[in-house]
Chains A and B, each alone.
Chain A
Amino acid sequence: MTEPSGVDPDEGCALVARSAADYLARSDPLARARRWRDRTPGYDREAWRELASLGWPALLIPEADGGLGLGLDSMVAVVRAGAAASLPEPLTEVLAAAQALVHAPTSATRTGLLSRIVAGECIVALAVQDEAGPIDLQRIGTVAVSAGQGAWRVTGRKRFVAGGVGADGYVVHAHADHQPVLFWVPADCPGLEVLAHAQADGRFMADLVFADLVLPPDHLLASGEPALAAAWAAIDTALIGSAAELLGLSQRALDLTLDYLRTRTQFDRPIGAFQALQHRAVDLYIHQRIGESVMRQLLDALRHDPSAELRTRGASRVKARAARSARQITREAIQLHGAIGFTDDCEVGMHVRRALVLGAWLGSELEHRRRYARLAPPIVD
């Protein structure tokens, strides 16, 4: 991962977290999320520019490329707080896709894109999946062949591109000359069709269809091993980011539930006085705390050992855990609220629906447990 150069990382992280809390408290992202629900792109482009002025898309971009050069801690702090506030803008999605660029070899395209991302002028999404199920970058789905003079002709289809509707362009995984490659595909490229699919949370995922799309030579970002490394850095960032979002929304759902248990009265007492419900609340609290511990341990470990191996294994572990905890907490939040928890007006529903999306995006908890089982060392030697 990118090591910060100038500011002390802890200090930088604390600063960012404070400004995030500030911004979220004054800008009512929940109302914005409701306003933009079910209409494309699902978020507010104006608000995105404001997030950029706070430096959010630049968090993980090295200072040399014009970014803040902060570590994953700061990303986790910000997206976690954003999710708790139901922030609809595709922050995790962009932070992750930008990581593919950060890890790509130096080029004019890379430099130009990173500076536009920092400026909030470019929303970029990651397109690495050909179909549902485990992500397999060796699989040949989307194919590029030479179109003469160094240009590429791309055919195929990418699926489940979160943040892909309304994006300015895509980092696309493909195969060329029997090698995995990453391309930059601008959204307005002739031959690109963007199909919008409504997500459970009222935002959108895109399918990208490439029909003889022709890309100039400089749109090839990376090929071979460096392309794989860049793609996995982006995917792991997305997984850690979505785990952070899940932890943020489940904490919020838990807080809402505890408030409700304290205030809702039935049988002449607050329902939180019933021991059956107290035990349930405690179980949810334990789920939340375990999730937080896993995230904290991963962030600490990555600070000492920023290797791809540790990152990949840790990303699966924390995604599986956060998805599991958020599943338990959001479902129980409905139950403990009674009928009101089943209404659209109740904030709980926002978190239930978001958890459905994050739980499935880039692999369910089931898939990440499988991946963890393959990657983790034996627990006893």
Chain B
Amino acid sequence: MSPPSPPTIDAPADWEALPLEDFRLRVRTWIEAWCPDEVRYPAGRLRWAQSREWWSRLYRRGWIAPGWPREHGGMGLSPIRQIVMLEELERHGCGRMPDQGITQVGPILLRYGTEAQRSEYLPKTLSGEAIWCQGYSEPNAGSDLASLQTSARLQGDRFVVDGSKIWTTLAMDATHMYLLARTSRGARKQQGISFLLVDMSTPGITVRPIRNIAGDEEFCQVFFDSVEIPRGNLVGRIDEGWSIAKSLLGFERLGIGSPRRPRQAFARLEQVARARGLFGDPAFLDRYTELRMDLEDLSAAYEEFVDQVRRGEPLGADVSLLKIWGTELMQRISELALLAAEDHAALAGEVALEGSSVNVLAPFYSSRPGTIYGGSNEIQRNILATTVLGLPR
């Protein structure tokens, strides 16, 4: 039996032409009607098997790539409408799908890719035929990413890749990886790095899942043993991949610093506090309200950066402040949820809390990596201190 097909007839020729609030309402109604329950409020990252149906409904609707231009199969939305869309997905509790092809690979190919690369990869990426993972970090290259050692030697019309990548989120579900590899050694370690695309089924690639602290297998180590990649899979110029990888960081930090994830943790805190009858306790109420205001104030700061995007201005290094505030706020919220759950906080999985069922530990675990990835918060503080405050290095 084929799944019900979402209607496509109400698609206007131009989403940008709709008044913003009408646009929001159209998006909301459609999400409520078509989003499958299994992608709502997941405890961890959504695996591909769970996302597939939602992905294909969005794809058939033409909504899988809100930020891509229309001629490439996207919705051609302005940044502000992309944000509205994210907000509506969040409002409905939709979990994050393995969307790095949409958020990272697409924009990179549109900016740096060749015509051949675009026509090969963009349609597959939209349809979900190509699922991408990010191969940047290595065992000895984390914060100091530029010290990466995975090598790609050019031999005729192909690169031969050796080394390993680690912490690669959902590599076991991915069909393709975008990676950084060393093609030469320059005076600065940022030189000599190239940006490559690889099919995960290429001989010589081994994926080993790594169990995380919550007991889930979400990230992996990926080993490369004389893996041959066609020369045509090099994006941009050889040895100049570093600037490609860096080009998306500002937008990525805006994403990580959005109030979206702390707000989901806050919803969990509220659920726990209500079930525990804590709103009558003035001491609790004070801590709760402090976090609530921290969250609303994060939104105020976030919207300033969004306005900057709306005006078409590039984001400065100061966007790091959002990532710091947002990720640490999410940790503080999840800590208060643990305290609010009282004895229940000792228990794993879903626990019955006066009528409702809550996984109290899920926000705790999922709030931890935010301060580590996307440039750790320590690295963000270094950036703010030197680049923004101008303190001596």
Contact = CB atoms under 8 A, between A and B. Distances in A.
* A, B bound: yes
Interface string B370-382: 0111001110011
16 contacts: A132-B344, A133-B343, A162-B346, A197-B351, A200-B347, A266-B143, A267-B143, A276-B381, A335-B368, A335-B376, A338-B372, A339-B142, A339-B167, A343-B211, A356-B338, A360-B343
B347 A199 contact: yes
Interface in A343-381: 343-346, 349, 352-353, 356-357, 359-367
A235 interface: no
B338 A198 contact: no
Given A276-B378, A334-B368, A360 B345 contact: yes
B283 to A, nearest CB: 8
A211 to B, nearest CB: 19
A108 interface: no
Given A160-B346, A346-B213, A356-B338, 14 more contacts: A132-B342, A133-B276, A198-B348, A199-B346, A200-B347, A327-B335, A338-B143, A338-B376, A339-B167, A339-B369, A342-B372, A345-B210, A362-B343, A365-B339
A356 B346 contact: yes
Given A338-B376, A342-B213, A344-B215, A276 B142 contact: no
A160 B142 contact: no
A360 B344 CA distance: 7
Contacts of A361: 343, 346
Contact of B212 (A205, A274, A344, A363): A344
Given A133-B343, A160-B343, A360-B341, A335 B213 contact: no
A338 B368 CA distance: 10
Contact of B211 (A159, A160, A344): A344
Most buried by B among A199, A364, A367: A364
- Interface range on chain B (Cβ under 8 Å from partner): 35 or more
Interface string A265-280: 1111000001011000
A276 to B, nearest CB: 6
B361 A356 contact: yes
B343 A339 contact: no
Interface in B321-368: 331, 335, 338-339, 341-349, 351, 361, 364, 368
Interface in B255-285: 276, 283
Interface in B163-205: 166-167
Interface in A170-214: 197-200, 202, 205
The 10 A-B pairs at the shortest CB distance, nearest first, are namely: A344-B211, A360-B346, A360-B345, A266-B144, A132-B343, A349-B213, A357-B346, A198-B348, A132-B342, A339-B167
A44 B308 CA distance: 60
A356 B212 contact: no
A338 B377 CA distance: 11
Contacts, number: 117
Interface string B219-239: 100000000000000000000
B247 interface: no
A331 interface: yes
Interface of B: 137, 140, 142-144, 147, 166-167, 210-213, 215, 219, 276, 283, 331, 335, 338-339, 341-349, 351, 361, 364, 368-369, 371-373, 376-378, 381-382
Nearest to A200: B348
A363 B344 CA distance: 10
Given A327-B335, A331-B331, A335-B371, A343 B210 contact: yes
Nearest to A265: B140
B290 to A, nearest CB: 15
A107 to B, nearest CB: 31
A29 B166 CA distance: 29
Chain B CB within 10 Å, residue with most, of A197, A361, A365: A197
A129 interface: yes
Contacts of A197: 347, 351
Contacts of B166: 339
B126 to A, nearest CB: 30
Contacts of B335: 327
Contact of B142 (A133, A266, A365, A367): A266
Contact of B342 (A200, A202, A356, A364): A364
Contacts of A349: 213
A334 B347 contact: no
